[in-house]
Amino acid sequence: MSVSLIQKYNVPGPRYTSYPTVPYWDEASFSQSKWQQTFLRSFKESNASEGISLYIHLPFCESLCTFCGCHKRITKRHEVEHPYIDAVLKEWDLYCDLFSAKPIIKEIHLGGGTPTFFSTENLERLITGILRKAKKASEYEFSFEGHPNNTTREHLQKLYDLGFRRVSYGVQDYSEKVQTAIHRIQPFHNVAKVTFWAKEIGYTSISHDLVFGLPFQTLENVVDTIEKTNSLSPNRLAFYSYAHVPWIKGNGQRGFKDEDVPKDDEKRQLYEVGKTLLFKKGYHEIGMDHFALEEDTMYKAFKAGKLHRNFMGYTASKTQLMIGLGVSSISDSWYAFAQNEKEIETYYARLANNELPVYRGHVLTEEDLIIRRHILNLMCQFETSWKEDNLYFKELPEVLAQLHEMESDGLLLMQPNRLVVTEKGKAFVRNICMAFDLRLKRKTPQTQLFSMTV
């Protein structure tokens, strides 16, 4: 890949797990009543036909990984588990009391934090409590994030018995120097052990999360990590770009200096070499920074044009309504976003008052909804079109004019009423999406909000 292209397009930009992105939410016009109206509308439109998704945030970790920008609470006190599960179930009860019918659940994802911080007994209490007021869709997918150091065979067996068939393990990198810098000491044999356990138990999709661009990470480190990963043959994996965001309060990114982090062409080479090794193993590039074997549901969804992206990342199926439960979780009704309180104590207090613990959000305008569809198309299928009148917007000619330079650079192809991202352009899909991001154009950030795009 051209060094000059990387230097030209490597700018701060969103990852587009939503549109509008969180910094551009119109919080002033948002209210609890508007959020209730939108999720009830979405529930009525979609529950019976496709079901709903649940994202459940389990925030506790025993130690701080200094590369992490997620919302978490560091503690070794496991007595925090029981009241937290009680609170999540109380929040779910508040939603169920408002629904007009019994929820049909298509997806559950347990994220964190560290979901496997919780005991098998408390995880069972959580899932059985959720399902007590709902029923599973005929084709459902339950998944969870497992920490290789503390995921036990009992965790895997219990969650399998509860209907989970997909597990994702955070690997990052196998270099001891890199692991020390990010405070994530995790030997290969721990990852191998939990991967083999999951296969033996019967999980149909095992995923590994890898990161490129970490402090002190070299090309040799990436090759070693990819080769070890290939030896375990996970069904899918994410190969994320490290988001160096040291300005975010509480993320702990202080164990290394800025100059220890690979940048620009050096960083991109880590991805390109890793990607080549994955291709040789039979993986296919799916969306941005994701790979899957042909038998995996994510590859099949990508080929069928059904891949979806939301605050859970890429998913093999779309639901119109995603309810986020737990501290800091974000919900998506398609028509609006809503985020829960970030502090556990405030989250508990709101629930004690029988209130949904939402503290901010955004109601999408008609323009937002059109732009959102274009960005989803680009992120999930590497193309978008405006053949239908409801996908045309008045600023489109201006957007297309801005993209001519990217077309000249070989990053995309303009066709009548259609835009297609080229193979070369896949590395710059965030930049292409930024051309459609009208809110970003109208209000350029005065401070650094986003990680670098390449």
Q: Which of 83-92, 355-364, 436-445 has the lowest mean pLDDT?
A: 436-445
pLDDT of res. 127: 98
Taking each helix axis as running N to C, give the angle between helix 120-132 and helix 81-98, from 0 to 180 degrees, rounded to the nearest 10.
10
Nearest to 373 by CA among 323, 331, 318, 328: 318
A 10 A CB-CB count for 61 gives 20
For residues 330 and 17, what is the distance between their CA atoms, to the nearest angstrom?
Answer: 11
Distance of CA 32 to the CA centre of its chain: 25
Mean pLDDT on 346-355? 97
Nearest to 308 by CA among 375, 363, 242, 362: 375
Nearest to 358 by CA among 334, 312, 326, 333: 326
pLDDT of res. 10: 75
Q: What is the pLDDT of residues 151-198, one digit of tens each?
A: 999 999 999 999 999 999 999 999 999 999 888 889 999 999 999 999
Q: Is the pLDDT of residue 445 over 80?
A: no
Assign residue 382 a region (left: φ > 0; alpha: ψ between -120 and 50; beta: otherwise). left
pLDDT of res. 198: 98
Report the sign of the C-alpha dihedral through residues 180, 181, 183, 184, in that order: negative
pLDDT of res. 247: 42
Mean pLDDT on 387-405? 92
Mean pLDDT on 411-425? 94
pLDDT of res. 293: 97
Question: Which residue, chain included where needed, has tokens 């004690």?
Answer: 352
Pairing of strands 135-146, 205-212: unpaired
For residues 317 and 380, what is the distance between their CA atoms, to the nearest angstrom?
Answer: 11
For residues 207 and 266, what is the distance between their CA atoms, to the nearest angstrom?
Answer: 26
CB-CB contact of 205 with 297 (8 Å): yes
- CA 113 to each of CA 117, 213, 435: distance values in angstroms, whole numbers, following the listed order: 8, 22, 33
Q: What is the pLDDT of residues 60-114, one digit of tens each?
A: 776 776 666 667 777 778 899 999 999 999 999 999 999 999 999 999 999 988 8
CB-CB contact of 213 with 261 (8 Å): yes
| Summary mean pLDDT of the chain | 91
Question: What's the full length of the chain, in residues?
Answer: 454
Please classify residue 17 by burial: count the beta carbons closer than 10 Å to its beta carbon, then call 0-12 exposed, 13-18 middle and 19+ buried: middle
Q: What is the pLDDT of residues 295-347, one digit of tens each?
A: 999 999 999 999 998 887 888 888 999 999 999 999 999 999 999 999 999 99
pLDDT of res. 42: 97
pTM for the model stands at 0.92
Q: What is the pLDDT of residues 219-275, one digit of tens each?
A: 999 999 999 999 999 999 999 888 765 545 554 445 677 788 888 788 889 999 999
Asked if the peptide bond before residue 113 counts as cis, ω within 30 degrees of 0, the response is: yes
pLDDT of res. 86: 97
Q: What is the pLDDT of residues 277-300, one digit of tens each?
A: 999 999 999 988 899 999 999 999
